[in-house]
A and B are shown apart, each in its own frame.
Chain A
Amino acid sequence: MPAVQETVERVKRIDVDQYRYGFETLIESDKAPKGLSEETVKFISEKKNEPAWMLQWRLEAYRRWLTMTEPTWARVDYPKIDFQDLYYYSAPKPKKTISSLDEIDPEILKTYEKLGIPLREVAMLEGVEPKPGEQDPNRRKIAVDAVFDSVSVATTFKAELKKAGVIFMPISEAIREHPELVQKYLGSVVPTSDNFYATLNSAVFSDGSFVYVPPGVRCPMELSTYFRINERNTGQFERTLIIADKGSYVSYLEGCTAPQRDENQLHAAVVELVTHDDAEIKYSTVQNWYPGNSEGKGGIYNFVTKRGDCRGDRSKISWTQVETGSAITWKYPSCILRGDNSSGEFYSIAISNGYQQVDSGTKMIHLGKNTSSRIISKGIAAGKSQNTYRGLVTAHRKATGARNFTACDSLLIGDKCGAHTVPYIEAKNSSATFEHEATTSKISEDVLFYCIQRGLTQEEAVGLVVNGFVKDVLQQLPMEFAVEAQKLISISLEGSVG
């Protein structure tokens, strides 16, 4: 059997059992009544003990949403979603108010343990902090916020971060404790009227992470949020808001997994980033939602709006994403380059296999003077999947000296998948310099045979070639996650590694 043919066969067999995170946790939960109405919105707001202004904000979004229709321009195909057939709020039922990690349902802690995410600070300190006199740059402290279904269950290292002045907490808490910050920034990057899914999220979001880094502070550790959808028929609508004040820096990573289920689950998140003068946010995602089985049954519908606003001069926002999961991905992390000399980056690896459909890319909107952006996108399509890069690069007429470099590379494995590149470029300023490069290639049999002749198995050969293909992007990830991502890429494409 020709080498590529064999790979195709292997890839075809990739099934639910390849998905390591497909377990379900049995815990009591507290759900909103099924369906979406003003009552649901009020229910959520009440559950969260929200101030009146927040409820008002949600209700306005809900009323707006009623007038909107689902976007259809993406290259994805799925049955119509019945938005009344979903639960919009599900929280693990707490025995009492949680004041420390010890009081969290042990089942939830076990779930995170299974996912390899240490929540206990003690364990974190033991496992991650280098011993005195020992300097291991690979091992750094990471503060974790864990979101289980709709609720943030634990945030670690809060006290230590507080010393540095960094606020890292569930957004539901931030609404109560830092209303002035939330009111100032929430919806300022992704307005409630932005798009169908973002508006829906604005009405019903239940939790997510909030980060504020004060002026001049370099956040002393990586911040990380892990999202887990557990409950059946539940939409997950998290909201993340990160603000880097003047001259500050923060690196943030999110990870996502879900149990394997026959039905599709909806995930519609909104992430807003704001950088002031000379500030920088580095936002990394390792998305591994359940992709569905080999027949295309089940899997997460991932409709996400992520946008960063380089509000200040010389500020910088960098998105890095490794996308291997979800049945459908609709996601365009973008940068608004408002401040003069600000810069935006988008590094992406999107892998699709089985019947997965990916329509992902970025928008770089150049408004300020001498702004620059860089897009490196690597799409890998295998099985019967469709993988689309969709990107917009635009320069406003006042954006003198705008520069962009875009490189989109697609790699096909087998002959039943598709890779598509849809770039939109608009330059309203004659001084703009935009460069676009795109390539599409297949893993050639000659390359595979060369590796195999040197002793590698078929799967090792594919893994090696693919990891070489995505190397530029992997290098952008924080080191401890780059290794993880590399493994994830191999798992997504191989038949026997599990």
Chain B
Amino acid sequence: MALLEVKDLKVRVEEREILHGLTLTVNEGEIHAIMGPNGSGKSTLSHVIAGKPGYEVTDGQILFKGEDLLEMAPNERSAKGVFLAFQYPVEIPGVATMTFLRTALNAQRKARGESEYSTPDFLKKVREVSKSLNIPQDMLKRGVNVGFSGGEKKRNEVLQMALFEPSLCILDEMDSGLDIDALRIAADGVNALHSPKRAMVVITHYQRLLNYIVPDIVHVMSKGRVVKSGGKELALELEASGYAQFEDAA
């Protein structure tokens, strides 16, 4: 059984159809890249999978581990193992990162019927994970993303990914706003989390991210559909010839 199956998905935002019948299958352990120009519907797809309000699914379905994802509340999807790394992680003033991590992790565990972490156990775990990702303890004491640099924000996303251990990670334009060093650090974190049980869907404009996170399969999106899929060489081809050739295909 595929981990994620998106079948003929049609999505509207305020009466305008953005996705016109999108199909995508992701298996455990695979890394998929979704590429495409602005407005092709890449971010919409990631938002609909995560359950962001404001999108209306008019047709098609999304199955996650064989279950109907669209029937689940966004926090239920999270507890089931869907993780969205945001393009622009939000700031939450006054809420220490550590507090946020514990609240979220325990909420997910509770939803799965697992016992909540005690404070010492949680601290131990978060220290281990942040150490393995080279994240300074000081960052955990600050308000969630408040005053973080672009690189720190993305590393905070990677830290959460490591801590929550989701089976599907969607990385929405992870490279935006990052310089090359920050990009490498964030990508190293993502690579460290790759496992045979965990799939990654990497959404990006540019091929450069894929130098660091090497995909198994590349999909090209245009005008709300996947117009071409192929191996990692497809990304290089795109880099050379641009998206224009696919505009007509859609």
Contact = CB atoms under 8 A, between A and B. Distances in A.
Given A1-B53, A455-B75, A446 B103 contact: no
Contact of A465 (B79, B92, B164): B92
A482 interface: no
Contact of A454 (B54, B88, B104): B104
A471 B100 CA distance: 14
B78 A444 contact: no
A451 B94 CA distance: 14
Nearest to A446: B90
Interface in B127-165: 143, 160, 164
Interface string B71-110: 0011100110001101011111111000010011101100
A434 interface: no
Contacts of B52: 449, 453
B94 A452 contact: no
A331 B54 CA distance: 41
Overall SS of chain A's interface: helix
A3 B50 CA distance: 13
B57 interface: no
Contacts of B185: none
B18 to A, nearest CB: 17
Nearest to A445: B53
B86 A455 contact: no
A471 B92 CA distance: 12
Interface in A247-265: none
B94 A469 contact: yes
B54 A452 contact: no
A286 interface: no
B111 interface: yes
A455 to B, nearest CB: 4
B53 A2 contact: yes
Contacts of B50: 453
Contacts of A447: 90-92
A453 B143 contact: no
Contact of B92 (A1, A455, A460, A464): A464
Contacts of A1: 53
Nearest to A450: B90
A116 interface: no
Given A449-B52, A468-B143, A460 B90 contact: no
A445 B75 CA distance: 14
B94 A455 contact: no
Residue among A2, A6, A452, A458 with the most chain B CB within 10 A? Answer: A452
Interface string B107-120: 11001000000000
A455 B92 CA distance: 16
Contacts of A454: 78, 100, 104, 107-108, 160, 164
Contacts of B74: 449, 452-453
B107 A457 contact: yes
A453 B78 contact: yes
A-B complex: 5 closest residue pairs judged by Cβ atoms? A468-B94, A468-B95, A455-B108, A471-B94, A454-B104
Given A454-B104, A468-B95, 15 more contacts: A1-B53, A3-B53, A445-B53, A445-B54, A447-B91, A451-B104, A452-B73, A452-B75, A453-B51, A453-B83, A455-B78, A455-B107, A456-B107, A457-B107, A469-B93
Interface of A: 1-3, 5-6, 444-447, 449-458, 460, 464-465, 467-472
11 contacts: A3-B53, A450-B92, A453-B51, A453-B78, A455-B111, A460-B103, A464-B95, A464-B100, A465-B92, A471-B94, A471-B95
Interface of B: 50-54, 73-75, 78-79, 83-84, 86, 88-95, 100, 103-105, 107-108, 111, 143, 160, 164
